Structure 1
Amino acid sequence: MSANGQTTTITVKNGKLTLNGKTIDASTYTLPTTANSASTVLINGKRYRGTIRIDLHGGSFTVVNVIPTEDYLAGVLPKEMSSSWPQEAQKAQAVAARTFALHNRGRHKDAGYDLCTSTHCQSYGGVTGEEQGSTAAIAATYGEVLTYQGNLIDAVFHTDSGGMTDRSEDVWGSQIPYLRPAKELEMNTQPWKRTFSADTFAAKLARKKDIGKLLRITLSPLTVGKSATDRSASGRVKSATFAGTKGTLRLTGNDLRSLFSLPSTLFDLGLSGSTVTANGYGAGHGLGLSQWGARAFAAKGMKYQDILSHYYAGTTLKQLYKK
């Protein structure tokens, strides 16, 4: 990594940090940087704002980017939403991403940092990933967050709802009052299809329980926006039952999505001969803001404030801090 025009090579030797071959008798080291807020640090070919902290963990180390929230968002927004999309959609995403980040500070505190750089938290690309349109949306919503009854919300979002978002208890099992079903402008969006041989499908089911040869799948037909005993208000799979030569197995929609790497839980599932077919819509968990849905609303002229209130029921938009 390099900062201030100097390159630093960091390794671990005999359980201690070494910088350019020199042992550091400390478990944490902060890379020196200039006071200039525009200065950046280059790490493995990518540039980052803020400061860089190295935390020693046994025989390895963690590189932590310590950065102000707004600068962090500049590296997040283009990774989560295209900078070419309508500004009102990007503004909605900026507020959601800012709220999510602040609500989830300390999510990885046991590892010594707040948020990871993957989709488990939010994708983050540092300066290398910044885009002009995204930065403009962040600036236009500077410091704005969503609250519910005075508290920051967990502003989760996903790629595409398929036509309707869902309520939290049908996805995560716990009721969150602002994560309620919300209809989209279009239904049955982002269709997808996956096929499996019945033997392959049964072999994957066996990771949960061996039911032998697959004989039957019991699941209500999908209609987006229509619930059933085994489907949520949006039509997502709550559970499906599988019968085989050695017994039966009931799995949740989330179990099936994970087990078979499906884009969403909004799907039909059927057995025909020796083939199992999953036909579905959307991508992601289906809670909170739908990114493609926000794009559609923005293209129709909806302002970001209204987009946010559509996806996060009963919330209040608040400016938490100013420039």
Structure 2
Amino acid sequence: MLSLRYYRYRFYRFIYSRRRFGHRRLTVGVLLALVLAGVFVAVSFMDYFSRGNEWKITLLQADIGKEISLSLEEYVAGVLAAEMPATFGLEALKAGAVTARTYALQRIIAKQTLPGTNAHVSSDHRVSQAYRSVEQLRATWGMAKFLVAWPKIRLAVTSTRGQVLTYNGQLIDALYHSTSGGVTANSEDYYSTAVPYLRSVPSPWEEHSPYWRTEVFISWQQLTDGLGLALAPQELAQGKVVPRVEAYPNGRTKALVLGEHRFNSRQVRERLGLRSAWFTLEPNPQGVIFHLRGNGHGVGLSQYGADGLAAAGYKYDDILLYYYPGAHLVRSYY
């Protein structure tokens, strides 16, 4: 690539060329105008050049089964709008943009695709990350909300452009969830592998979450059917088998024990369709009330926790490095 010194030399030769101009000197004003114009063109070109090298991602639109290709930054904006309330603080949204970008870029670089497709990700949150297009957001939010919320989402994305999280030079598995309930989970407490940057941390800034504390009633019949237990519901109703909960040292639920049967918290959550894997029990003759704390698997960044920290004045990089201890925030492209 030719250096800026070369182009500067050619520029001045052009300016002072007698073939193009009838005199050797231009006025200072004209010269300054030309220089500024040249700077503008150069900056615009470099910006275009960097955007031209932006990563592309293939998305499966789950509702219609169509695959589309879009820029990574456009995808991140659609994920952020679908995954986090636009009413959140800007620093929380920035943190959300970085986690969404890290997750997506990891799949692109690893060339991971969904089974039977060429898509890296799905718009279905149960498969990948939730995603909504601009058209879907207009329809869902309405124009009045869209005109306020979308610029905020875009600002969170553009101000963190290219930024991702790494650990030992590799992109992290940037897991996140809605609400931890007060303490996030160690990765091995929900999944099977201990990950050094997915450690349990206190997260008491989430009390404004609608999922901070919830409860759901499940009948004994629903419980035995859902868990696939060969127990008569009457045994539970009559107290012959008393359910009990085991907990980890951080207080989160470890397992549900029913007689000789033991189910870890993830199994209970997924088989019974619970909002959270952190629960306590309140049995009665008809069934059991699950007192739930939080929403989601509880591993990694808590979205409502991030919003609470943003409201307390913390910046997005502080938020990210708190929920992913030992990770590094780096810029992968410009």
Q: TM-score, normalised by structure 2?
A: 0.71
Equivalent residues of 2:213, 2:293 under 8 A apart: yes
Equivalent residues of 1:217, 1:240 under 8 A apart: no
> Would the alpha carbon gap of residues 193 and 150 (structure 1) be closer, same or farther in structure 2, given more than 3 Å must change?
same
Q: Per-residue deviation at 1:97?
A: 0.5
What's the secondary structure of 2:221's corresponding residue? helix
Distance in structure 1 (CA, Å) of the matches to 2:159 and 2:59: 30
Distance in structure 1 (CA, Å) of the matches to 2:166 and 2:278: 29
> What is the aligned-residue identity percentage?
32
> Would the alpha carbon gap of residues 307 and 51 (structure 1) be closer, same or farther in structure 2, given more than 3 Å must change?
closer
Q: How well do the aligned residues superpose, as a CA RMSD in angstroms?
A: 2.4
Matches within 5 A, 1:23-102: 62-102=65-105
Distance in structure 1 (CA, Å) of the matches to 2:241 and 2:116: 45
Which of 168, 176, 185 is the equivalent residue of 2:187? 168
**Which residue pairs with 2:6 in the alignment?**
none
What's the secondary structure of 2:276's corresponding residue? coil
* Residues 257-303 of structure 1: CA deviation (Å, up to 9, x unaligned): 11211111111023222321110110000011100000000000000
> Would the alpha carbon gap of residues 52 and 182 (structure 1) be closer, same or farther in structure 2, given more than 3 Å must change?
closer
* Residues 239-268 of structure 1: CA deviation (Å, up to 9, x unaligned): 11113xxxx321111111112111111110
Which of 198, 215, 234 is the equivalent residue of 2:220? 198
Equivalent residues of 2:219, 2:288 under 8 A apart: yes
Equivalent residues of 2:57, 2:72 under 8 A apart: no
**Which residue pairs with 1:319 in the alignment?**
331
What's the secondary structure of 1:111's corresponding residue? coil
Equivalent residues of 1:217, 1:270 under 8 A apart: no
Tell me if 1:253 matches 2:256.
no
Equivalent residues of 2:59, 2:120 under 8 A apart: no
Which of 223, 232, 235 is the equivalent residue of 1:212? 232
> Would the alpha carbon gap of residues 321 and 53 (structure 1) be closer, same or farther in structure 2, given more than 3 Å must change?
closer
> Would the alpha carbon gap of residues 186 and 140 (structure 1) be closer, same or farther in structure 2, given more than 3 Å must change?
closer
- The one-letter code of the counterpart of 2:226 is K
Distance in structure 2 (CA, Å) of the matches to 1:169 and 1:86: 30
**Which residue pairs with 1:123 in the alignment?**
130
Tell me if 1:114 matches 2:106.
no
Distance in structure 2 (CA, Å) of the matches to 1:317 and 1:280: 33
Tell me if 1:104 matches 2:95.
no
Tell me, which stretches of 5 or more residues in structure 2 are unaligned?
A: 1-47, 49-55, 138-145
Distance in structure 1 (CA, Å) of the matches to 2:104 and 2:197: 17
What's the secondary structure of 2:121's corresponding residue? coil
Matches within 5 A, 1:150-299: 150-186=169-205, 190-205=212-227, 208-213=228-233, 214=236, 215-220=240-245, 230-243=246-259, 248-299=260-311
Equivalent residues of 1:217, 1:269 under 8 A apart: no
Equivalent residues of 2:279, 2:291 under 8 A apart: yes
Q: Per-residue deviation at 1:72?
A: 1.0
Tell me, which stretches of 5 or more residues in structure 1 are unaligned?
A: 1-36, 38-49, 55-60, 221-229
Distance in structure 2 (CA, Å) of the matches to 1:95 and 1:299: 18
Distance in structure 2 (CA, Å) of the matches to 1:204 and 1:83: 36
Distance in structure 1 (CA, Å) of the matches to 2:59 and 2:152: 30
- The one-letter code of the counterpart of 1:242 is L
Task: Report the number of matched residues.
Answer: 253
> Would the alpha carbon gap of residues 53 and 301 (structure 1) be closer, same or farther in structure 2, given more than 3 Å must change?
closer
Distance in structure 2 (CA, Å) of the matches to 1:290 and 1:102: 21
Distance in structure 1 (CA, Å) of the matches to 2:262 and 2:129: 32
Larger radius of gyration: 2
Q: Per-residue deviation at 1:110?
A: 4.2
300-309 or 118-127: bigger deviation: 118-127
What's the secondary structure of 1:147's corresponding residue? strand
* Residues 196-217 of structure 1: CA deviation (Å, up to 9, x unaligned): 2223322333xx2312232333
> Would the alpha carbon gap of residues 52 and 280 (structure 1) be closer, same or farther in structure 2, given more than 3 Å must change?
closer
Q: Using CA pairs below 8 Å that are at least 6 residues apart, which structure has the higher relative contact order?
A: 2
* Residues 25-44 of structure 1: CA deviation (Å, up to 9, x unaligned): xxxxxxxxxxxx9xxxxxxx
- The one-letter code of the counterpart of 2:81 is P
